[in-house]
């Protein structure tokens, strides 16, 4: 866990997501707690992660998503050395056809 994050607050946030029953409820919650720029950044990072998982190259990802090469690099580092969140969720998304 990153320094400066309140562990109790972060766990409450994670738990709140587990209580939501469908995509619409999640979207409503995300729109309430995030700014439009935060939502754009979060959704863009997930898209970058999916594309990296599929083996796309950095230049194509940058061109297609509008993400900076720095963002692509950071997401790639998280995919390879992070907590494993992307590695857990991406296969589930792809299995559902997302």
CATH of residue 94: 1.10.1270.10
Return the pLDDT at 5.
85
The mean per-residue pLDDT over the stretch 29-53 comes to 98
pLDDT greater than 70 at residue 39 = yes
Integer Cα distance of 58 and 72 in angstroms = 7
The rounded mean pLDDT for the chain is 95
Integer Cα distance of 33 and 36 in angstroms = 10
**pTM above the 0.85 mark?**
yes
Number of domains forming the structure of the chain:
2
Backbone dihedral region for residue 7 (phi beyond 0: left; psi -120 to 50: alpha; all else: beta): alpha
Q: How confident is the model at residue 84 (pLDDT cuts 50, 70, 90)?
A: very high
Domain that holds residue 64: 36-98
Specify whether 42 is located in the same domain as 64: yes
Q: How confident is the model at residue 1 (pLDDT cuts 50, 70, 90)?
A: low
Specify whether 15 is located in the same domain as 54: no
Specify whether 52 is located in the same domain as 95: yes
């Amino acid at each position: 866990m990153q320094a400066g994050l309140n562990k109790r607050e972060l766990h409450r946030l994670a738990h709140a997501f587990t209580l939501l029953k469908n995509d619409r409820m999640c979207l409503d919650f995300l729109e309430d707690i995030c700014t439009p720029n935060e939502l754009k950044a979060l959704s863009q990072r997930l898209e970058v992660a999916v594309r990296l998982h599929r083996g796309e190259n950095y230049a194509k990802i940058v061109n297609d998503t509008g993400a900076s090469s720095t963002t692509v690099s950071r997401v790639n580092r998280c995919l390879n050395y992070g907590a494993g969140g992307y590695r857990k969720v991406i296969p589930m998304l792809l299995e559902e056809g997302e």
